[in-house]
Amino acid sequence: MPTFGALPVPVAVNRGLEGLAPAFRAKIEAVLKAVPDAVVVETLRTDARQAYLHGFGREYDDGRGIVTHSETALDTWHHYGLAADLVHKVSRWGAPASWWQTLGTAARAQGLVWGGDWTFRDYPHIQWGAPMRRSPSPSAASLLASGGLPAVWRAVKAS
């Protein structure tokens, strides 16, 4: 991939599990136990972080290309504590296909959705499963505004 544009200063990444929905956190911890060489590289995401990631492949690029189609944090489950990105602790994003399949199998075994199953493959991405949609709807943003994260978590049964 070509590189272009001046990369902005990176925006802080949240890797902690403490901001995740309680039921989702427990399932991510189970995935980490099942795949011991996996590490969490991102959980909760701010608007600033989402804008930074959305710029890749559009306004600037370091060779990775487009990394997200979501323009704002409200358009991603990371903002709601219902998504996490996991990679191999040594190989990081360069892990072999077999490792990613192991991660996906562990996520699916917990009833979670794995981004490696999508058309736009997002191998590190794991998010809460049913009854949640693939991407947040305006009703998720309304719930967040009126009742905070706990209201969203209750609505998708992840409290």
Query: Which run of H or of E encompasses 40?
Result: strand 38-42
Tell me what the mean pLDDT of segment 138-143 comes to. 96
> Sorting pLDDT into bands at 50, 70 and 90, what band is 2?
confident
Q: How confident is the model at residue 142 (pLDDT cuts 50, 70, 90)?
A: very high
DSSP E strands in 44-123: the ranges are: 83-88, 113-114
Edge-first strand order for the sheet with 83-88 is 38-42, 83-88, 125-127, 113-114
pLDDT greater than 90 at residue 1 = no
Residue 73: phi and psi, rounded to 5, are -65, -30
Burial class (CB in 10 A: 0-12, 13-18, 19+), 39: middle
Sign of the C-alpha dihedral computed for residues 66, 141, 44 and 109 taken in this order: negative
Per-residue pLDDT band for 5 (boundaries 50, 70, 90) equals very high
For 44-103, how does the pLDDT look when each residue is reduced to its tens digit (9 = 90+)?
999 999 999 999 999 999 998 999 999 999 999 999 999 999 999 999 999 999 999 999
pLDDT for 93 equals 94
Query: What is the separation of C-alpha 32 from the centre of its chain, rounded to a whole number of angstroms?
Result: 15
pLDDT tens digit sequence for 147-156: 999 999 999 9
What is the average pLDDT value for the chain, to the nearest integer? 96
> How large is the average pLDDT for residues 16-36?
98
Q: What is Dmax (Cα atoms) for the chain?
A: 44
Q: Which amino acid is at 29?
A: E
